[in-house]
Amino acid sequence: MSQQIDWGVASAADLGGKDGLTIIQQIMSGDLPAPPMAKTLSLRITKAEIGKVTFTGTPRFDYYNPAGTIHGGWTATLLDSALGCAVQTTLSAGEIYTTVDFSMSLTRAIFENTGDVTCVAQVLHRGRRISTVEAKAYDKNGKLLAHGTETCAILGNQPVK
């Protein structure tokens, strides 16, 4: 039986030989640590399959901006996290990716009382060196709050550091 790990950064030994989907699934199960930023910003992966990931984020008063709404940076981080993890699920063992372009549009203000925000990211294209992905974030009633796109470079088999 595996030990539950909460937050941290996985070691190279822990990641070695695992494909991207397995890594994401093990973060979800607690067999690998979730990034500390996910704890800070109340983000969690709730579903993952090859090329598609669902995140849930809980907006908190701590994330308010001077205008009295959730800061756009929180929403950007939710989208970027889901977008990147969707690409991660397509990687072979040893492959890594990096974001080269990110764009988002906010369609509604988010407040603490909005409740959980669901963000679904789907890979649109996975080439040998480039992947494109889109994400949409919704409130509990299915209203679109934000959407975004990302382009990632696939760097091939690289040693995990």
Sheet holding 95-106, edge to edge: 43-49, 52-57, 117-126, 130-138, 144-157, 95-106
Rounded to whole angstroms, the Cα distance separating 87 from 83 reads 7
Q: Is residue 3 part of a domain?
A: no
Determine the pLDDT at residue 4.
Answer: 53
**In this structure, are residues 33 and 5 in contact, taking their beta carbons and an 8 Å threshold?**
yes
- 1 domain-assigned: no
Q: For all residues of the chain together, what is the average pLDDT? A: 93
CA distance 7 to 84: 18
pTM value? 0.92
5 domain-assigned: no
Closest residue by Cα to residue 160 from 8, 11, 5: 11
Q: What is the CATH number of the domain that holds 41?
A: 3.10.129.10
The whole-number pLDDT of residue 5 equals 54
Q: Which domain holds residue 93?
A: 12-157
Classify residue 6: in a domain, yes or no: no
Res 158: pLDDT: 55
Q: What confidence tier does 9 reach under pLDDT thresholds 50, 70, 90?
A: confident
Q: How many domains does the chain have?
A: 1
> Among residues of the chain, what percentage have pLDDT more than 90?
85
Within a domain: 7: no
Residue 34, H or E segment: none
What tens digit of pLDDT does each residue of 60-103 get?
Answer: 999 999 999 999 999 999 999 999 999 999 999 989 999 999 99
Give, in degrees to the nearest 5, the angle at Cα 155 between 150 and 157: 135
Domain for residue 55, yes or no? yes
